[in-house]
Chain A
Amino acid sequence: MKPIVLSLLLILMPLLAQAITPEERGLEIAQEIERRDTGFHDFKAAMTMLLKNKHGEESLRDMRNQTLEVENDGDKTLVIFDEPRDVKGTALLSFSHKTGDDDQWLYLPALKRVKRIASRNKSGPFMGSEFAYEDISSQEVEKYTYKFIEESSYEGKASFLLERYPVDPNSGYTRQQVWVDQAQFIPLKIKYYDRKNTLLKTLVFRGYQQYLDQYWRADQMYMENHQTGKSTLLSWEKYNFRSGLSDGDFNKNSLKRAR
């Protein structure tokens, strides 16, 4: 009996594989990306944004990021601003969620005021940069639906090309094309299409490094806006995984202490 079942399975396997729809395959890849990036617990990192307009004028943003992984929900993140100097000490606390709006509080140090802010505005520029809040917030599988397009290659690396469609009606995008590295299941490039389905931006990930022998993070994320000619280079430095952050580092008191 057993050998027959086995051989039947072997014959049917390719058929089963074929029976997976592009949507299912896209979702499987997204789930695998998330599975491989689960379990880091927390990290601290320094972020620098170099903003450039089409005339080449530059502007700098310096921030520090603290992220805590939350089981079965989006991550908790605290971003503290160091530059420009007039917003030094301003801090943003976000509890992101797999579905629905995130919870966000902004701390304004001059007034010592913590403001709960409307987080529905995901598509607006983050600190005047080419990154929207939705581009850098916790990337959860549930935030999109997916479609596998083709096996492709990006800069000589075998990759999967997926399309994903934001579930949130307040997203600034109709769709995103994502090139995913086949070996490591990490994004290499994302093309963003605006609400009119016109190509808006391209994000390229550079200088991937592996932390704790598992978690890949890009040193640089370069976002180019094709409609305005502006660009933002987001550099990540001083990654410190499992730095000892806990839930207590992500409340309104810690937001006021952050600096």
Chain B
Amino acid sequence: MKVWFCILLLLPGFLCAGEWSGYVEGQGRYFLQDPLDSDQPDHALSLAVQPEYFQRWDNDKQSLLFIPFARWDSEDDERSHADIRELIWTYAGNGWESRVGVGKVFWGVTEALHLVDIINQTDLVENPDGEQKLGQPMLKLSLERDWGILDFYLLAGFRERTFPGEDGRLRTHPRVDTDLAGYESDREERHLDLAIRWSHFIGDWDIGLSHFNGTSRDPLFMPLSNGAGEVVLAPFYELMRQTGLDLQATKGDWLWKLEAIHRSADSGSYNAATGGFEYTLVGIGESAMDLGLLAEYLYDDRQDAATTPFENDLFLAFRLTANDVDGSELLAGIIKDLDSSAALFNLETSRRIGNLWKVSAQARLWFNVPEDDPLYPFRQDDYVEISLSRFF
């Protein structure tokens, strides 16, 4: 009787004793310089909410996770947006796992750039660092064996990258008009993408090998005139293949990291790699604090023709972990272009306030960006961001 009751309720899925959690966040951004376009604001306020519903049954073999997300931004209509980050059903068998729904996947080991990570589209309006992702519809099968974990992905339904609107900062000039998005595939956003990944660890070494065949998450841009006669950039999504390697050696207080990819598409093929280390000084000055020193080299063999700004760059940073009750953390670093005077400074810090609140801050500054650098449009967009989150 109870079983039938549960099955009935599982179809809608939302009533059988699951748990809700999540957060609400208030955020303020202040831009330090005058905008390139007088329509752009010098500050913005926004409010975001991300509830989470989770339920498991069948001796924890099956679970359902639902994470919707929404943000309202005081200035930028494009940044006011909503998304289903995750809505996924998981079945964990004995030595295998399947997932069906909208999900999120991360691959990789390096800190400055995530070359290998390719399943989810970037939610760029959230943060220019590209670490926020849109939910990806998928069917995943995973085999867990002595020789590692083998994942197969069938990705149905392409997500277009989000871009700041006309009234947003941190955008290109002219702006990107997402209404004019074009595809190489005749099936456009309905093209089926495939991916496979093997990952394993042997002693101190963690390794991942992956291959992706489908629509590129990174668009090319074509200047076009839109219906209103305004010159805009239209994103164009090519088909491509990418093979990736991620490798980490964990040797005492040293983490050695490498990510490398080969990508080929109609527009050409290229290789790129990011590699370096994170060394942790434990308990500095007889305190409980740890100091991590990070260095990574970023390479792209397209050189100046690279569509990313990091073709021959050095990332240097430190990470301070207080190991205190409030979980205080600070990560500060620069990415320096070795071919020009350009540099990007980045700071992220956060701490808890009690058990339910968290305050975090970010700062991003661009220095001496030359005209031919992909970061040139952001040269006037140095900003400081403060967020206060309440968890429930």
Residue ranges of A at the interface with B (Cβ–Cβ < 8 Å):
51, 53, 59-60, 83-88, 101, 103, 111-121, 123-125, 128, 170, 172, 248, 251-254, 257, 259
Contacts and interface: CB of A to CB of B under 8 A. Distances in A.
B131 interface: yes
Nearest to B143: A253
A117 B354 CA distance: 26
A128 B355 contact: no
A83 B252 contact: no
Contact of A123 (B106, B199, B253, B283): B283
7 contacts: A84-B355, A85-B21, A113-B108, A117-B255, A118-B255, A128-B323, A170-B282
Interface residues of B, number: 46
A121 B290 contact: yes
B283 A124 contact: yes
Interface stretch (B37-45, B88-96, B163-171, B309-317): B88-96
Interface string B191-219: 00000000101000010000000000000
Contacts of B392: 85
Given A84-B327, A84-B355, 7 more contacts: A59-B325, A86-B358, A88-B391, A101-B252, A111-B131, A116-B255, A128-B326
| Interface pairs A-B: 3 shortest CB-CB | A85-B391, A128-B325, A112-B106
A158 B288 CA distance: 36
Interface string B346-383: 00000010111010000000000000000000000000
A148 to B, nearest CB: 31
B144 interface: yes
In this complex, the member of A114, A119, A121 whose beta carbon has the largest number of chain B beta carbons within 10 angstroms is A121
Given A84-B327, A120-B282, A248-B94, A59 B21 contact: no
B352 to A, nearest CB: 6
Contacts of A101: 252
Contacts of A120: 252-253, 282
A217 B357 CA distance: 34
A172 B283 CA distance: 10
B33 interface: no
B324 interface: yes
B77 to A, nearest CB: 26
B355 A121 contact: no
Contacts of A251: 144, 149
A51 B63 CA distance: 32
A160 B149 CA distance: 47
Contacts of A103: 201, 250
A121 B106 contact: no
Contacts of A128: 323-327
Nearest to B392: A85
B356 A125 contact: no
Contacts of B94: 248
B54 interface: yes
Contacts of A113: 106, 108
B274 interface: no
B254 interface: yes
A116 B206 contact: yes
Contacts of B352: 84, 86
A124 B248 CA distance: 23
A118 B280 contact: yes
A259 B55 CA distance: 10
B145 to A, nearest CB: 10
Contact of A84 (B108, B290, B323, B356): B356
A121 B356 contact: no
Nearest to B390: A85
Contacts of B356: 84-85
A118 B252 contact: yes
A145 to B, nearest CB: 22
B304 interface: no
Nearest to B251: A118
A228 to B, nearest CB: 9
Contacts of A125: 288, 323-324
Nearest to A195: B286
A120 B254 CA distance: 10
B242 interface: no
B121 interface: no
Contacts of A111: 106, 131
A250 B149 CA distance: 12
A253 B325 contact: no
B173 to A, nearest CB: 31
Contacts of A114: 106
Nearest to B199: A252
In this complex, the member of A51, A128, A251 whose beta carbon has the largest number of chain B beta carbons within 10 angstroms is A128
Nearest to B248: A116
B389 interface: yes
B122 to A, nearest CB: 13
B142 interface: yes
In this complex, the member of B92, B144, B280, B325 whose beta carbon has the largest number of chain A beta carbons within 10 angstroms is B325
